[in-house]
Structure 1
Amino acid sequence: MKSYISDIQSIKKVINDIKNLDFEYESNKLQVNYFIENEKAIALRLPLSLTFDMPTNQIVDCDYLNYILVMIRSGIATVGFFENFENQKHKVFRAYMVRKKQGKSQIKHLKTKGKSRAGSRVRLQETLDFFEDISGRINEHFEAFRIDKIGISCSETLIPYFYGTKLSLPFDKQDQRIFKIPKHIQNPTYEALIATNDFLKQGEIKFSPQGKIFLDQFTNDSATESKDDQDDW
């Protein structure tokens, strides 16, 4: 499968060109999938400034959008609040969660080794405090602002800790505002937060060989980058 990072106008044009194909919308991915002969052939990841209207198979411009981006890895996380697509507040969290010799988090160690010693208990407590701090920051944003969307990047191992804090998050796993950030983030620093937001403000056109043949009927002069992508789409 290949994909192109694309601007808003190009995404709009492609949707208009292929609107007669069968489709489905995955809100948790901000993605519209189009089918040729019952096979997914084209997938459009929408920029944050666009939303998809299922009944009409049309995209709608978002005049104003508030959202948070939450990016978590073992030992480091970033929470950013964005007002109308621009970062207004952010905070980076760090914790001593990684076992230096083994290079893996205390959570993963406990899953395989069971009981822990004093150093491990310190790391585990830091892990719990780490997620409480993240939850506290998110709650502050929800109390102060209207939040329209929630972008999350977090490994499956850490998800139970993210949702299991004593200070409950102001949303649950099924919240319709949640979407998975469609990009691997190795080190969620402030710089990564801003780069991810820039990525989300752009769209992405993905296609199979069959989808490419179909798209070749139309022009797409605004594509800015192409890549091979082996991830599940």
Structure 2
Amino acid sequence: MNRLLPQESTAALLRTIQNFAFRTEYEPEKHRLILYDEAGNEQLYFRLPITFTYPANCSAIDQENINYVILLIQSGNCAIGYFENGVNLDHKVFRSYMVRKKQGKSQIKYLKTKGKSRAGSRVRLGETVEFFENINERLQSYFGEHKINRIAISCSKTLIPYLYNSKVATPFTKNDPRLFKIPKHIHTPIYEVLLDANRFLLRGELIYDEKQQELAESLLAVAEITASEIDNQEDLTDEGYDSWE
């Protein structure tokens, strides 16, 4: 089960968790807390908004300015944007002829199963190379002009090598600690989808199974978070976490 919370409610719940002195562990790559019971079993997950930092002692929530990039990549489609404290200041959408129309399969996946490349395939591969060069050029401009605190990304395993092996270098490594995998299904990347991903990342998310519903509800009650502040989200997946490792 998932409960999405606005930032003020997220801060209240974070203080409540700290006041209860739960045993917790912070996962930077998922920007979330794991709450354990006394036996060391995982009970709840609490993802923080992308604009939140997680200091060791967070009795008061004083957030610093956070600059970040959201990068959404699918075969032939990319939406990328630069944000400051949740506000989109620049964006770009890229499209490329990477998909075989009859089969509906990307050229990259097709070559893995069929092997030889014909004229149309070579065109699509050329478009693929240019596609990732354009993405990295835009990333380079953002990183050159701004201090980037976080990088939120949604990209499949198939496409990740093309991002990092482009002739135009990616301004971060695959293991960069600023990387944050978006834990949400992303539709075809366009500007509106980019903004939707940002709205999702700006909210906190309490994740638990049905067995822990009583604990979750008690924490929300102690934090004085009302039902009207909670958004029940049913279409979340771990695709953003597991699509590339």
- Output the CA distance in 1 between the equivalents of 2:211 and 2:11: 21
Q: Distance in 1 between matches of 2:60 and 2:105?
A: 43
Equivalent residues of 2:73, 2:154 under 8 A apart: yes
Take 1:32 and 1:229, find their aligned partners in 2: how far apart are those partners? 21
CA deviation map 1:119-177 (0-9, x unaligned): 01110110011000000110011111111111111011100001111111111011111
1:68-107 to 2 correspondences below 5 Å = 68-107=69-108
Richer in helix (by share): 2
Provide structure 1 residue ranges, at least 5 long, that are not aligned to the other structure.
Answer: none
Aligned length: 231
Q: Structure 1 or 2: larger strand share?
A: 1
The answer to whether the 8 Å contact 1:136/1:167 transfers is: yes
- Asked if residue 9 in structure 1 is aligned to residue 3 in structure 2, the reply is no
* 2:162 maps to 1:156: no
Question: How high is the TM-score relative to the length of structure 2?
Answer: 0.88
**2:54 counterpart letter in structure 1:** F
- Classify 1:103/1:150 alpha carbon distance in 2 versus 1 (closer, same or farther; 3 Å): same
- By how many angstroms is 1:62 displaced? 2.5
Q: 1:231 to 1:89 in 2, by over 3 A?
A: closer
Summarize the alignment of residues 61-210 of structure 1 with structure 2, pairs less than 5 Å apart.
61-210=62-211
Structure 2: which amino acid aligns with 1:146? K
Deviation string, structure 1 residues 198-221 (Cα, Å, up to 9, x no partner)? 111111111123432223334131
Identity %: 43
Q: How far apart, CA to CA, are the structure 2 residues paired with 1:58 and 1:172? A: 33
List runs of 5+ in structure 2 lacking aligned partners.
Answer: none
Q: Map residues 24-63 of structure 1 onto 2, 5 A cutoff.
A: 24-36=25-37, 37-53=39-55, 55-56=56-57, 60-63=61-64
Of residues 68-77 and 202-211 in structure 1, the stretch that sits farther from structure 2 once superposed is 202-211
- Residue 9 to residue 230, structure 1, CA distance change in 2 (3 Å): closer
Amino acid of the structure 2 residue aligned with 1:91: K
Taking only aligned residues, the RMSD between alpha carbons, in angstroms, comes to 1.9
Tell me the distance in 2 between the aligned counterparts of 1:72 and 1:196.
13
Counterpart CA distance in 2 for 1:124 and 1:92 is 19
Asked if the contact 1:4–1:223 (Cα under 8 Å) also holds between the matched residues in 2, the reply is no
Deviation at 1:59, TM superposition (A): 7.4
